[in-house]
Copies of this chain bind each other. A is one copy, B any other.
Amino acid sequence: MRGLTFLLLAGIASCENTSPPANIGILLFPGFQPLDVIGPLDVFNALSIQRYIHTFFVSPTSTPVPFGAYTLPWFTPTGNFSSELEGSFIPSYTFDNIPPMDILIIPGGIGTRAPSPRLDETIKFVRDVYPKLGYLMTVCTGSGIAARAGVLDGKKATTNKLSWAQTIAHGPKVKWVAEARWVKDGNIWSSSGVSAGIDVAVAFVAEIYSEAAAVKATNMLEYERHTNATDDPFAILYGLTNEKNSTNQG
């Protein structure tokens, strides 16, 4: 009985922990889409002037992580040329030394398509860390990594509309929502492609911190946010509808 009381109290304490999240890790892997990382990051950057915020990059190793898809040994460009996007982000922490982390953000990009076993350690990290997180946020095809980790099973989520079929194949048990700029299910916030990462981060700030904080952040970024999560012109553009393309609904 004492054990049960303790568990109940621990549960209540956990649910009633209303201090807003401050520590935000962003996952890096070779070939990430840079705007998927920096869009949400700069929303939290703008928030960091209003309250204490700690953002950092996490990766399996401390090696700088290149974003250019053309550097990936397994990637074949579609054209008869190979562009060069030089640049790497330096991980702040590796999987075995991450500091307190309330939110994990998973970006998308060509790198999410890396053949096994290249992303196995990263997928395992997401699976293992998810129960300890306050929130998980995915941008673009980053939802494919979360799906492969199993953490989206039974949950509603969305993803990039151009890579829709390819990404949802990673999560047959996920309730994929086709017409959505972003989707919230429990503590998981997922967004559509690339620039939608800015909108999901702003929506998150509005709900979890305050509407005033979100407005102040977007005014600073001179960003006209999308306020309607289900208004998705890119679903229409790529011929996706809830009726035809959403999965496991109802």
A223 interface contact, C-beta 8 A: yes
Q: Mark A157-184, 1 if CB is under 8 A from B, else 0.
A: 0001110000000000000000000000
Q: Decide if A81 touches B51 in the complex (CB within 8 Å).
A: yes
A246 interface contact, C-beta 8 A: no
Known pairs A85-B55, A90-B88; A219 contacts B194 (CB<8 A): no
Question: Measured between alpha carbons, how far is A92 from B79 in the docked complex, in Å?
Answer: 25
Which chain B residue lies CB-closest to A42? B35
Size class of the contact patch on chain A: 35 or more
Min C-beta distance of A219 to chain B, whole Å: 6
Q: Mark A209-240, 1 if CB is under 8 A from B, else 0.
A: 00000000001111110000000011001000
Known pairs A45-B34, A54-B84, A88-B90; A222 contacts B198 (CB<8 A): no
Q: Which residues of B contact A89 (CB under 8 A)?
A: 87-90
Interface residues of A in 104-131 (CB under 8 A from B): none
Q: Which residues of B contact A78 (CB under 8 A)?
A: 49
Query: Chain A: residues with CB nearer than 8 A to chain B?
Result: 33-35, 37-39, 41-42, 44-45, 48-57, 64, 70, 77-79, 81-90, 92, 160-162, 192-196, 198, 219-224, 233-234, 237
